[in-house]
Amino acid sequence: MRKAYIAGNWKMNMTPSAGAAYAAELAKAAAEAGADVKIMVAPPFVTIPAVVEALRGSSIIVAAQNMNDHKSGAYTGEVAPEMLKDLGVTTVILGHSERRSYYKEDDAFINRKLLLALEEGMDVVLCVGETLEERESGKLEEVLSTQLVGGLKDVKAEDMEHITIAYEPVWAIGTGRTATPEDADSAHAFIRGQIAKMYSDDIAQKLIIQYGGSVNASNVKALMAKENIDGALVGGASLSVEKFLPIITYDK
């Protein structure tokens, strides 16, 4: 039985004071509503300390949206995993489509970061997903397979328990267009099948696969009802407790 895992990616939103106020409100609301899914929030780097402080005593996980692929050194403007861990960050999102497209991150670079995160004892949410053009030209499976093989290169079977995959079709992110639950489930089934081929059926069955792309209070239930959808990575609708609470309590 895979435990549902719902994450909020705040992207470049929320100052430290706004993040702290949100986090305190979310922790209270989630507890009052009896939310029993695994919940994660990923604030911008500078907002992380205030959010960690506000969530002290809560089981809500704090993640980073990115990290550098080196342990330390002359990388101006970058953030190392050890710095994140020191703040209380346990998890990092890697390979988000915005980083792939705006900052030209490729699978090899994402893989270096992922291996370092594992070495540092962190959990990773690895994002994969196709563009509309790739989907329409029948390349969905090829793209997913390339991103999985490249992103997970040299990851040992015993480390797979630290990996969550987020399937995020690029055309559904921030656009209001959601993949149908059937389309999303079939992409998730393909991902699970690839992981079974790369590792084992057991690892594939235990793997948490989140769906991301315009998830909101109205579509979350239908998505989560699908066999292979184990959670959600939520952007826009994670930016207010009012919108995020119904998503993390979709089963109530």
Task: Rule CB under 6 A: choose which of 214, 219, 228, 249 binds ligand PEP.
Answer: 214
User: DSSP states of the chain as a string?
Assistant: -PPPEEEEE--S---HHHHHHHHHHHHHHHHHHT--SEEEEE--GGGHHHHHHHTTTS--EEEES---SSSSSS-TT---HHHHHHHT--EEEE--HHHHHHS---HHHHHHHHHHHHHTT-EEEEEE---HHHHHTT-HHHHHHHHHHHHTTT--GGGGGGEEEEE--GGGSSSS----HHHHHHHHHHHHHHHHHHS-HHHHHH--EEEESS--TTTHHHHHTSTT--EEEESGGGSSHHHHHHHHTTT-
Site track for ligand PEP across 131-170, x = CB under 6 A: -------------------------------------x--
43 binds ligand PEP (CB under 6 A): no
By beta carbon distance, the residue nearest ligand PEP is 235
Task: Rule CB under 6 A: choose which of 14, 160, 215, 224 binds ligand PEP.
Answer: 215
Say whether 168 is catalytic: yes
Task: Rule CB under 6 A: choose which of 49, 129, 231, 235 binds ligand PEP.
Answer: 235
Q: Quick one: 6 or 114, whose CB is closer to ligand PEP? A: 6
28 marked as part of a ligand binding site:
no
10 marked as part of a ligand binding site:
yes
Q: Quick one: 109 or 167, whose CB is closer to ligand PEP? A: 167
Pick the catalytic residue from 53, 96, 142, 161.
96
Q: Which residues are the active-site residues?
A: 96, 168
Positions at the binding site: 9-11, 174, 214, 235-236
Please give the residue ranges that form the binding site for ligand PEP (CB under 6 A): 9, 168, 173-174, 212-215, 233-237
